Amino acid sequence: MNNNDVMKFLNSWKNGVINIGNKFLEDSNYVDEAELFLDQHYAFNQTKVLFKPTFTKEIIFRNDKQSALSYFINGDIDEDNGFAIKPWKSIDALDVHFMLEDKISVVMGVLKLKPLHESGDTKIAFTFVLDTFDGDIKIKVHHSSPISN
């Protein structure tokens, strides 16, 4: 795994979040899209995943696929508002840092999220621990938190 691989993965993750929101707006099957997104970007089907989403207060961690899905699409957990179905117009990665090792890589930075139907933006700090499974990069640890403006 090199910097280019990690940036390509990060771009795929950002586009995946936006695509879930687009499917929601089109009244298309955004749930299937979100499940595919999780399968492509998170290692829930391969190993244990630690996931601390940005906007959680009551149930802080979402360490299984169903609770992660709830966070992204406003599912079974009451506090979830559907992070991916907000929807977002754009997500830009800023101030990205890498630590690339033999098998596991760490990327951290800032994501600037611009909502589709609102003014202003939201900035979050993120850290992903990435691993490779059958040639595909996936998230094993995801931690993110809002940055106050």
User: pLDDT by residue (tens digit) across 84-94?
Assistant: 999 999 999 99
Look up the CATH number of the domain holding residue 44.
3.10.450.50
Helix crossing, 65-73 with 3-25: angle to 10°?
60
User: pLDDT by residue (tens digit) across 2-16?
Assistant: 889 999 999 999 999
If phi > 0 it is left, if psi is from -120 to 50 it is alpha, else beta; for residue 134 that is left
Total domains present in the chain: 1
Name the more confident of 124 and 101.
124
pTM here is 0.94
pLDDT above 90 (res 103): no
Residue 81 token pair:
């508002």
Q: How much is the pLDDT for 31?
A: 96
Rounded mean pLDDT, 128-138: 95
Tell me the C-alpha distance between 31 and 40, whole Å.
14
Kindly list the distances between the CA atom of residue 82 and the CA atoms of 35, 99, 102, 138, in Å, as whole numbers in the listed order. 13, 30, 35, 21
Hey, which residues does 108 pair with through a beta bridge? 97, 127
Hey, which residues does 148 pair with through a beta bridge? none
Tell me the C-alpha distance between 85 and 71, whole Å.
10
The mean pLDDT of the chain is: 94
Q: Which of 147, 127, 143, 144 is nearest to 6 (CA)?
A: 127
Q: Which domain holds residue 41?
A: 3-146
Q: How much is the pLDDT for 149?
A: 62
Tell me the C-alpha distance between 35 and 82, whole Å.
13
